[in-house]
Structure 1
């Protein structure tokens, strides 16, 4: 059986992989929803866009459920703290997600332009809100959450809903929003064969790539220099009795850069977050559609890796009692639980990835206006 600390590190990576899976797959179909009225100038163009994600949008949302389940099992106190602090944003996000299946499934039930436009609006609203909420949550996690744990291990939060909207979290939210748009625009280039839509998606890809570079630089600089970060002085055991009122976790400006200072070679990760969008622009201009999509997906991967390296080993930092911050050392489940989950992950994650790849491969073909018009009853 693996060492307990090794298991903790493995689950840090596995949950990161699940988050990446969600952002790449659900990111592209939510991004399509965001762009629905920007790129789709009429009903037929919006139908083409919607049907480019029709076979996969519901399956992509399973990644979000899987992330929630993995958090609950591997990091139960993180799950409790996260969902209790972000209860209202989570409810808003879930309500917005309810709009998407209504828009998708009922769009084609009534052959009326007004009805279909209403369904398109529902899809668009349900796609706009989640990336904003995800960005707000990530921004506030980096700033730290005002919570503490009492001697009975009860979580006490002082977070106010309005306090979620601060300059830094709004900046991260905009970055998240642009990332989803960028992913969707590259996917639409790859999936749709229509000169008008392709022209607009090419422009959106280039603009969003430039904006992603700008906002990533601003976010990274603000994270390093303008908000207080955290640094773990010593490894913390899986027991809150050992950390309450102690000073193992330091809290000051510049500490979010400490992992990069210790290992300078890790700076290649945020550097790739700047280089890959440039290649996205280049490949988009030369109509290398597959490479454009791959570069956009890799950008998401390295953005998540940058956040992971920045915060490691912190998961949820506390800005009122830093010593009560949740880390991968003090917030994990038992060794037995992590071991059983690892065996399940070894079996099922490759199956899920293989099945997802197979579905995209089998249902991939270029959508055209003629295809939609000639098979009206077979599409949304």
Structure 2
């Protein structure tokens, strides 16, 4: 079996892969939902848009479920603390997600404009709200979350829901929403044609521009805007059992940039985030939509990876008691649990990826209004 410190690193990487996979796969579904009321101007056009993601959205949401399950099993302290502090935010995500299965299944059951319009806006909520909240959550992680542990290692959240909606976190929410909308617009341009495709390309280009500007603004704010980072100031034993209180942590300006100074190659991540978004918009406008989708996916990976690399080894910093901050060394499950989960992931993640690739290959091609009319009872 792999040693404990190696497994801690591996699971940090695997959770990151699952989060990026969720952003890429379920993200383009959410991006399409966000654009639905604006890119689709008629009922036929909106049905075309819905049918680009209809056959895949529920399978893609498995990435979200798997990511949550992996955090629960690999980082139980993070799961418990996050769902305590972000309780109402997570409920808002779940409430928004309720609109997706119901909207997909019931929107076309009744041929009435009011009924269908209502479900179109429901699908918009299901696509737009989760990325916004996830971005706000990441913004709060970078600032530190107000929690601490008592003598029995029970976490206590000392903030309020409204404190989560601070200016920097909202900027991160804009970034998250823009990059997901960009990704969905590029996917929509790849699967459609005509006026819908033209509007999707234009929306993707604007979203890419907003994403790049918000990404650069967030980076500048972290560096020069007075947001302190976190650094471990005591010796740590990577092989020791989890105990968040067995270290000392200091907050200092520029601490989130320390890893980039130690490993200059990490600068490739933010470069990929910016270049991928701009390349995705340009390639989509030039009609190279498949390459544009790949570039957009790389942009998402770069942006998420930038935040992960900056925070390493922190997973959930504490602003009220820095010593209680959760890191990959002290918030994890046992050696046996991480080892067992590693082999399960090694077997099943490739199966999921292979099946997903096969499903997209089988159902590839353009979705048109003619196809919808010819398959009235089987299309969404």
TM tier relative to shorter chain? over 0.9
Give distance in 2, aligned partners of 1:64 and 1:278. Answer: 27
Aligned pairs for 1:122-137 (under 5 A) are 122-137=122-137
Match of 1:190 in 2: 190
Which residue in the other structure is 1:240 paired with? Answer: 243
Partner of 2:221: 222
Is the Cα–Cα contact under 8 Å of residues 276 and 295 in structure 2 kept in the other structure?
Answer: yes
Q: Contact 1:191–1:366 (CA<8 Å) still a contact in 2?
A: yes
Output the TM-score relative to the length of structure 1. Answer: 0.96
Q: TM-score, normalised by structure 2?
A: 0.96
CA shift for structure 1 position 120? 1.2
- Contact 1:99 1:123 (C-alpha < 8 Å) held by counterparts: yes
Distance 1:354-1:241 versus aligned 2 partners, 3 A rule: closer
- Superposed CA RMSD: 1.2
The DSSP-based 3-state class of the residue aligned with 1:376 is: coil
Q: Distance in 2 between matches of 1:120 and 1:314?
A: 40
Q: How far off is 1:125 after superposition?
A: 1.3
Decide whether the 8 Å contact of 1:273 with 1:299 is kept in 2: yes
1:281 offset after TM fit, Å? 2.5
How much has 1:242 moved relative to structure 2? 5.5
How far apart, CA to CA, are the structure 2 residues paired with 1:51 and 1:242? 51
2:162 is the alignment partner of 1:162: yes
User: Any stretches of 5+ residues in structure 1 without a counterpart?
Assistant: none
Q: Which moved more, 1:106-115 or 1:346-355?
A: 106-115
Quote the offset at 1:224 in angstroms.
Answer: 2.5
The residue number in structure 2 matching 1:117 is: 117
Pair 1:361 & 2:361 matched: yes
The range that moved more, 26-35 or 121-130, is 121-130
In the alignment, the residues of structure 2 paired with residue 357 and residue 321 of structure 1 have an alpha-carbon distance, to the nearest angstrom, of 45
More deviation in 93-102 or 172-181?
93-102
Contact 2:271 2:302 in 1 (8 A): no
1:232-260 Cα shifts (integer Å, max 9, x gaps) = 233354343752xx53x221211000101
Instruction: Compare 259-268 and 183-192 and name the one that shifted more.
Output: 259-268
Judge conservation of contact 1:148–1:324 (CA < 8 Å) in 2. yes
Q: CA deviation at 1:269?
A: 1.4
Q: For 1:330, what is the secondary structure of its paired residue?
A: coil
Structure 1 distance, partners of 2:281, 2:57, is 26
Match of residue 212 from structure 2: 213
Q: C-alpha deviations, 1:65-90, integer Å up to 9, x for none?
A: 11111011100011000111000011
Q: How many pairs align? A: 376
The change in CA–CA distance for 1:225 and 1:185 in structure 2 (over 3 A counts) is: same
Other-structure match for 2:77: 77
Report if aligned partners of 2:175, 2:214 keep a CA contact under 8 Å in 1.
yes
Secondary structure at 2:364's aligned position in 1? coil
Aligned to 2:172, the other structure's residue is in SS state helix
Aligned ranges 1:145-160 → 2 under 5 Å: 145-160=145-160
> Which moves more between the two structures, 32-41 or 266-275?
266-275
Show structure 1 runs of 4+ deviating over 6 A.
none
The secondary structure found in structure 1 opposite 2:252 is strand
Cα distance in 2 for partners of 1:376, 1:113 equals 17
After the TM superposition, which of the residue ranges 342-351 and 205-214 deviates more from structure 2?
205-214
CA contact (8 A) 2:136 2:172 kept: yes
Instruction: Report what 1:11 is aligned to.
Output: 11
Q: What residue number does 1:102 align with?
A: 102
Match of 1:300 in 2: 300
Paired residues of 1:238 and 1:331 also in contact (CA < 8 A): no
Structure 2, unpaired ranges of 5+: none
> Residues of 1 paired with 2:352 and 2:346: CA distance?
11
Q: Per the alignment, in what secondary structure is the counterpart of residue 109 of structure 2? A: coil
Partner of 1:276: 276
Q: How far does the alpha carbon of each residue in 1:118-153 deviate from its partner, in whole angstroms, 9 at most, with x for none?
A: 221211111111111101111111110111111211
CA distance in 2, matches of 1:101, 1:239: 39
Aligned partners of 2:244 and 2:331 also within 8 Å: no
For 1:21 and 1:272, locate their aligned partners in 2 and report how far apart those are by CA, in whole Å.
Answer: 16
